[in-house]
Structure 1
């Protein structure tokens, strides 16, 4: 890893708004709803329930946004991993149209929520640039753009020169500009949601892991090491850090570790040549690279996945090499920070919403699109807790389906990632 980089603390930890001071649960409480997990899904659910007048208790095992909500790249991107026509083929036109509208409008929801609540999270919305490194991925981008344009989105295809001008590198042969995207300081955004939920009346507790969830009469009892909460409604919002609290839920996702590095602030001249419009960028590799600048002009590069907790130094080193290769104008860049986090993948590349028992909801598996979609999901879960229709959720409620041979996921994922690396190298 580059000299001076901090591998044990993210850039977001170093630059975020102050964390709210929250207690550890040490009593027995009663509420209308208990939420397990203090990331975007849980915080958004708590906020919207509290704003509607419900009594809410949120229990987080670590600190607020300890997981992916405080470690991601901060890109607020529209849509899902599947393109609109794929969603129509899977769900039919009527249901797919709702999914497309909700996921496509998710950045509107995030930026609107941050503005309404006065969350200071360096929110910017210059658009999202998707870039192609090969003819095959460029053709895929063109198909994606055509599908969204048919649905009224003002996407614009970029040739190689336009892409280079917007991104600052000649490593891509074309791109697609999506005006709906942008970025936030992800940890500041999460902490702002926590503060807003508290102001609205929700009670948030950190360092309060739920060790048992059991039904007693009409209530669910969520037990922590020092306390408990009784509530008729439960929302499980643990995403990539899901454990065995509910049978089969952990086995229904694939937790994958992803990595990011951040340079020192670039300075005026370099800032003008690298992402001069402050766009967020993602490429179409199977093992994607994603990058942007923060509010202080640091270049942040993310990507490279691992199924284990090993090999971090090698993968961080890979990313620093990518930065040097992609932006030779940096010379030998100095990296201030390096960090990793766990994202939750699903076999069908869609988020999953479950109702495994009366009064129990779970949402997880955002496949790297969690800033926008988890925020939207939280509002939808709050509506469902308050008696809304399951049909109005952003995605259909599905059964929990454990992935076969989940116990062998690490060696299997390793083989899959090796295959994806070869396909990326071949430009497929």
Structure 2
């Protein structure tokens, strides 16, 4: 079965960037052409720094071009917890990630279907409501534009009676993530970034006080500083710790045929995006060509047939009714940390990396890339703590077994909640 995402089907062709075929030198080398890498490279170049970006495939090839396109501010911790854990600078950064992305899109004039129409976090059990309300109230106390939605308001907003309540964060919204990646790549090149595709880095070594990256097909890049922005698509030969720092969970997604006028009047008429608070919940929105999109956790093995998407399609029917034919199926990987917190690491002089965006990567990776560029070019403080060693997960090779058992256990607990 051909897996074709709605993003690939509705985006223009990938920008035509060359392969790097000769040795070169730069101030900052960015490895990885997703949101984090593109944002870091763009902002560093705009500050007047010479930047080379190397992408093994094309911009947005990994998680940045395969996600649900939901632009959600904040980290997974509630504001009070985040304030206590990492301080007000981290909280301010987290609360502004969506605004940073939308402001960047406007400034650069990127055509990526951006709409700051809000995000709903929904609960389908009474047990979910106190936690959701507390989270909303904590953001409200800090001036965020948020509102509570009871069951009737949730039905009007989402088109389904499946939810008992939830809250809406008006800072949030949606984008076409692959168009965004292509637009950031073009903007980075216009800012002076030397951007190369089909240029996989096979090795990274110290080179005096700097670094030397060796490409799989031979050329080398020498750089004073390196940002490794490859996340869950990092080959172990490039960095041994980064692939073992998170569980690379598969997110399966589907998109329906275009909705008719009756469906569009009922399902998400205000254009919001939705994600559930369940331990193994779903997320959904209206996507390109007025198609309903829904995603959720899939198996830890890559899908090969339409039957592998049965669980996700059943969730779509549960929420929005049967009878909506599916035209697109695809998947991507999400880097999950045990505590659902991001890892920002400086494991050696002049080397920085980040991983563990935990499903918030569209806004978070873009905003973090900007913050990393400011740190590298001006010495500005970073918004979250910086580790000197990236913690890895024990028996990571068995993550598929443990992950599958954990998901089954969480699904059972979701069913038992009242």
Could you state the TM-score of these two structures normalised by the residue count of structure 1? 0.94
CA distance in 2, matches of 1:63, 1:172: 39
Matching residue within 199, 209, 230 for 1:208: 199
Alignment of 1:147-166 (within 5 A): 147-166=138-157
> Which whole-Å deviations, capped at 9, do the CAs of 1:85-130 have from their partners, x for residues lacking one?
2223423xxx2x1111111111111110001001000001111111
CA distance in 1, matches of 2:90, 2:209: 33
> Which whole-Å deviations, capped at 9, do the CAs of 1:9-35 have from their partners, x for residues lacking one?
100001113321011111101011111
CA distance in 2, matches of 1:7, 1:182: 29
> Which whole-Å deviations, capped at 9, do the CAs of 1:54-82 have from their partners, x for residues lacking one?
11111111111111100000000111111
Report if the CA contact (8 A) 2:5-2:66 is conserved.
yes
Runs (5+) with no aligned partner, structure 2? none
In structure 2, the partner of 1:174 is 165
When residues 89 and 308 of structure 1 are mapped into structure 2, their CA distance, relative to the original with a 3 A threshold, is: farther
CA distance in 2, matches of 1:222, 1:262: 39
> Alpha-carbon deviation of 1:395?
1.0
Matching residue within 73, 78, 81 for 2:76: 81
CA distance in 2, matches of 1:346, 1:315: 25
Alignment of 1:387-398 (within 5 A): 387-389=378-380, 392-398=381-387
Answering whether residue 269 of structure 2 is matched by residue 279 of structure 1, we say no
Answering whether residue 49 of structure 2 is matched by residue 54 of structure 1, we say yes
In structure 2, the partner of 1:320 is 313
Matching residue within 366, 388, 392 for 1:375: 366
When residues 310 and 264 of structure 1 are mapped into structure 2, their CA distance, relative to the original with a 3 A threshold, is: closer
> Alpha-carbon deviation of 1:246?
2.3
Answering whether residue 223 of structure 2 is matched by residue 231 of structure 1, we say yes
CA distance in 2, matches of 1:341, 1:406: 19
In structure 2, the partner of 1:3 is none
Could you state the TM-score of these two structures normalised by the residue count of structure 2? 0.96
Answering whether residue 61 of structure 2 is matched by residue 66 of structure 1, we say yes
When residues 74 and 310 of structure 1 are mapped into structure 2, their CA distance, relative to the original with a 3 A threshold, is: closer
Runs (5+) with no aligned partner, structure 1? 1-5
In structure 2, the partner of 1:292 is 285
CA distance in 1, matches of 2:323, 2:151: 25
- How many residues of Structure 1 are paired with residues of Structure 2 in the alignment? 415
